[in-house]
């Protein structure tokens, strides 16, 4: 089997499974229905009716009374569950709060094995953030940028006349985990999304989502006035431009009264923006904010900016945005990626967090696995996000966004286990204090519990859950180990960000798109020097942390080569040299994924055959890719270091010249020379 076949296998399997009952389309919402529970509720709108319907269909416990009651503590979306002598009382200030409370009760029931139960004490839940938003990078032609689960969920051609059952299922899944907003289109936005015909399509989706408390937002192209109505400029200081945006916003709100607002990528990677006219990001954002403010809308302005030049790419967002602190309108939120470069398997947190004290900030996390093996590799990301929150207090953020991993694949996310990241994002967006372990437990029991065996839960079944949980909890660190350990980053092949290509050197290409820009490997050593002796990126962090990061002997080893260029013989905490430790990590990553295969096999008796076989096939791909990463990186770095492999290390099964022949197509991962790899396996 060549790499082209290997990488297309998940798609082929998905196509074969579309008619199967357990292809994964039900996500974590697999509870039995027809319970005919006793639910008493006041009269209300569609959202209250949805909450009541969900409980009547699936709740197995004592009777429930739903109450709408103003409560300053609960806010607009919190809820309180109170056990009384003969019933439960679910109280919230709004219908949305009752809906989230209903799903919380059902989650507790399913986590109890699907059995009826009664909470023993009062439960009060209030979301950490008012805005918990998915960002879809979906294009209006049906493609999805950095999407690995098929085409876009939105069939723009058939909207608004024709809908899809999946639109409501999507809204229901989001509501069940507390997500309350969705940006429908790519940040590299087509101006056409703001045309009248597309606004009517967006309205059709908004109408489906509304009963589930899900508001719609749009990414907008800053040059839309020029593209749609031939204005000569998009200068935010131009009165005609400001007037165009105000009129466009009014048009949107006439059709979608609860429209959320705009997400903007400007002056980044070729996108137009205010800097094209000598204006600042604040001036551009404020012009849009002024148009949205009368309607209650917001602007989410992305801080993902960098340009070719002398400045370290990891420093550029801070350099550009820190001077603008306090200059944005109140309804502007600056959206900052969790790390300072670009969704790498491991990054330190972006120093913009904590640096902009007078500006509302929101974290942008990536759910789709652009740099984590796409939908071919299992990589449970809750541990990554919990690591981020160790450095960035959740209370310092105004909102949170996640770049979606959802497509029209039968199982929504391409990889059955990738659904856990959609789920985990929603749960952490609601409550960042939840542990990654607890979220994994919730997701597993809801997603894989057999409805046919719901009355029994034997020791073997618990062992199966334990094995699956171990895969999830260890998966992200395994990916870091076999891809880029010890702070290495951006070693990916040109264009598609899938396989390894640390030697990549495209003539005339931007230096900061080349792996060598980041690893700086030579015969002396490896790593990007961001210490005070190098680019001094450490100075962007608080003083106490900066001092820690600035010293190679106190810098956490997981970030060592992010901040330091060190000799190959640099002593590590383990007693190994840096070269030996690199070899150990790459080898460990391969062993870990092989272990995942064994753990997954243990769960076979308790998983439907369709999902079991699909994950099994994907784990085979992941092992092959892990070996590919290990061999490519270590052979290349050995060529520079001239050092031998440690005695205990598994030797490469490829040669470096063979690996350099592997070329994956950007769009479809075609690999005409992939037989070179298979012939050596």
Give the single-character DSSP code of 563. Answer: H
**Could you give the CA distance from residue 149 to residue 152 in angstroms, rounded to a whole number?**
9
Token duo for residue 479:
């990916």
Phi, psi of 228 (to 5 degrees): -90, -35
The residue with tokens 């300053």 is 72
DSSP string, 29-69: ----------EE--S--HHHHHHHHHHHHH--SS-EEEEE-
Sheet-wide strand order for 39-40: 39-40, 64-68, 88-92, 79-83, 123-125
Q: Is 370 a catalytic residue?
A: yes
Query: Nearest Cα to 442, choosing from 679, 125, 97, 108?
Result: 108
Sequence-separated (6 or more) residues with CB below 8 Å from residue 25: 169, 410, 411, 412
The residue from 145, 200, 342, 608 that is catalytic is: 342
Sequence-separated (6 or more) residues with CB below 8 Å from residue 55: 37, 39, 64, 102, 105, 106
DSSP string, 392-455: S-GGG-SEEEEE----SSTTSSSSGGGHHHHHHHHHHHH-TTS-HHHHHHHHHHHHH--GGGTT
Alpha helix segments (H runs only) across 193-298: 196-209, 224-229, 239-255, 281-292
Alpha helix segments (H runs only) across 503-577: 515-519, 543-550, 560-563
Q: Is 648 a catalytic residue?
A: no
Instruction: Check if the beta carbon of residue 331 is closer than 8 Å to that of residue 292.
Output: yes
Phi, psi of 127 (to 5 degrees): -65, 145
627: buried, middle or exposed (CB in 10 Å: 19+, 13-18, 0-12)?
buried
The residue from 269, 524, 601, 639 that is catalytic is: 269
Give the single-character DSSP code of 597. Answer: H
The residue with tokens 């007693």 is 575
- Cis before 501? omega within 30: no
The residue from 125, 235, 370, 512 that is catalytic is: 370
Q: What's the residue count for the chain? A: 681
Sequence-separated (6 or more) residues with CB below 8 Å from residue 201: 154, 156, 159, 160
Q: Is 269 a catalytic residue?
A: yes
State the catalytic residues: 269, 342, 370
């Amino acid at each position: 089997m060549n790499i082209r076949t290997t990488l297309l296998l998940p798609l082929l399997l998905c196509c074969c499974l579309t008619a199967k009952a357990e292809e994964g389309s039900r996500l974590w919402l697999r509870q039995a229905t027809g319970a005919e529970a006793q639910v008493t509720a006041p009269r209300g709108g569609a959202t209250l009716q949805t909450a009541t319907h969900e409980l009547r269909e699936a709740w197995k416990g004592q009777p429930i009374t739903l109450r709408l009651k103003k409560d300053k503590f609960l806010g607009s979306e919190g809820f309180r569950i109170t056990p009384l002598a003969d019933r439960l009382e679910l109280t919230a200030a709004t219908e949305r709060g009752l809906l989230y409370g209903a799903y919380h009760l059902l989650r507790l029931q399913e986590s109890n094995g699907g059995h009826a139960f009664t909470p023993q004490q009062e439960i009060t839940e209030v979301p950490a953030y008012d805005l918990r938003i998915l960002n879809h990078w979906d294009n209006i032609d049906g493609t999805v940028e950095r999407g690995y689960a098929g085409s876009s969920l939105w069939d723009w051609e058939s909207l608004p006349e024709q809908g899809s059952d999946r639109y409501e299922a999507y809204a229901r899944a989001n509501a069940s985990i507390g997500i309350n907003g969705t940006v429908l289109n790519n940040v590299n936005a087509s101006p056409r999304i703001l045309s009248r015909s597309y606004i009517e399509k967006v309205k059709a989706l908004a109408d489906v989502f509304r009963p589930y408390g899900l508001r719609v937002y749009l990414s907008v192209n800053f040059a839309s006035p020029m593209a749609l109505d031939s204005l000569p400029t998009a200068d935010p200081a131009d009165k005609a431009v400001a007037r165009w945006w105000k009129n466009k916003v009014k048009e949107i709100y006439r059709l979608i009264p609860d429209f959320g607002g705009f997400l903007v990528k400007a002056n980044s990677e070729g996108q137009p923006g205010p800097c094209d006219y000598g204006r600042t990001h604040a001036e551009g954002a404020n012009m849009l904010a002024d148009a949205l403010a009368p309607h209650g809308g917001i602007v989410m302005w992305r801080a993902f900016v960098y340009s070719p030049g002398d400045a370290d790419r990891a420093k550029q967002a801070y350099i550009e945005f820190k001077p603008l602190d306090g200059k944005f309108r109140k309804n502007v939120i600056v959206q900052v990626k969790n790390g300072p470069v670009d969704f790498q398997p491991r990054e330190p947190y972006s120093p913009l967090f904590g640096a902009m004290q007078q500006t509302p900030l929101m974290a942008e996390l990536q759910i789709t696995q652009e740099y984590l093996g796409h939908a071919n590799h299992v990589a449970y990301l809750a541990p990554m996000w919990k690591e981020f929150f160790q450095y960035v207090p959740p209370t310092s953020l105004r909102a949170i966004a996640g770049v979606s991993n959802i497509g029209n694949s039968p199982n929504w996310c391409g990889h059955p286990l990738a659904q856990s990241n959609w789920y985990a994002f929603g749960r952490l967006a609601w409550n960042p204090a939840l542990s990654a372990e607890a979220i994994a437990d919730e997701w597993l029991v809801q997603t894989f519990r057999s409805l046919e065996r719901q009355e029994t839960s034997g020791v073997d079944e618990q062992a199966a859950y334990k094995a699956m949980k171990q895969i999830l909890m260890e998966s992200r660190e395994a990916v870091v180990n076999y891809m880029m350990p010890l702070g290495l980053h951006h070693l990916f092949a040109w264009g598609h960000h899938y396989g390894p290509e640390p030697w990549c050197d495209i003539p005339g290409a931007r230096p900061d798109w080349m792996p060598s820009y980041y690893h700086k490997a030579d015969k002396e050593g490896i790593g990007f020097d961001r210490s005070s002796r190098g680019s001094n990126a450490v100075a962007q962090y608080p003083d106490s942390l900066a001092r820690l990061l600035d010293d190679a002997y106190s810098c956490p080893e997981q970030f060592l080569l992010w901040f330091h260029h060190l000799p190959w013989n640099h002593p590590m905490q383990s007693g190994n040299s840096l070269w030996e430790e690199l070899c150990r990590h790459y080898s460990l990553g391969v062993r870990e994924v092989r272990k995942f295969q064994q753990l997954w096999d243990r769960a076979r008796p308790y998983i439907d055959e369709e999902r079991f076989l699909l994950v099994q096939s994907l784990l085979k791909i992941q092992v092959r890719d892990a070996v590919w990463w290990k061999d490519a990186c270590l052979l290349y770095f050995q060529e520079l270091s001239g050092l031998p492999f440690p005695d205990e290390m598994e030797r490469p099964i490829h040669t470096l010249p063979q690996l350099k022949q592997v070329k994956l197509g950007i769009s479809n991962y075609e690999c005409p020379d992939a037989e070179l790899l298979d012939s050596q396996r």
